[in-house]
Amino acid sequence: MRTILGLLLIAAPALAQRLSQEKDIRLFDERVAPILEKRCLPCHNEELKNANISFLDRDSLLSGGTLGPALVPGRPDQSLLISALRHEGELQMPPGPKLSSKEIAVLTDWIKRGAIWGTRLHKQDTRR
């Protein structure tokens, strides 16, 4: 009985971490990716790459474009993306109508949770 209890105590943190990661991937695929697809990717994609940044993969957002990294995982307050979406500085995105406060809250929460990338968006493999 102690052995089973011991194994459960050892496995519990790993299971909790996996469940949290799966939840973060779902958040991206179901709530974040649709916002990026609709409001960011028309200009920030592999073909246009406005401001030298694509929103098709996490690495591109982390390395950033002409103004630096678009996001800092865990730190929405230091993420250029959130500042631009809130229209807090000179850079105000997207052009046209501002994102709703609900959309900005989704993206802020995603960054706060570590900006985990899901499976819905990715660069096309151009190797032939």
Whole-number Å distance between alpha carbons of 58 and 61: 5
Q: How many domains does the chain have?
A: 1
Q: pLDDT at residue 109 above 60? A: yes
Looking at residue 5, its pLDDT comes to 60
At residue 125 the predicted structure's pLDDT band, cuts being 50, 70 and 90, is very low
DSSP string for 17-63 = HHHHHHHHHHHIIIIIHHHHHHHTTTTSSTTT-GGG--SSSHHHHHH
The pTM of this model reads: 0.83
Q: pLDDT at residue 52 above 70? A: yes
**pLDDT, tens only, 17-34:** 665 789 999 999 999 999
71-94 average pLDDT score: 95
Q: Is 13 part of a structural domain of the chain?
A: no
Q: Is 128 part of a structural domain of the chain?
A: no
SS3 68: strand
Q: pLDDT at residue 56 above 90? A: yes
Whole-number Å distance between alpha carbons of 65 and 55: 11
Domain that holds residue 100: 22-112
Q: Is 80 part of a structural domain of the chain?
A: yes
Whole-number percent of the chain with pLDDT over 70: 82
Q: Is 96 part of a structural domain of the chain?
A: yes
Q: Is 26 part of a structural domain of the chain?
A: yes
Q: Is 41 part of a structural domain of the chain?
A: yes
Return the residue matching tokens 């109508």: 97
Q: Is 70 part of a structural domain of the chain?
A: yes
Q: Is 73 part of a structural domain of the chain?
A: yes
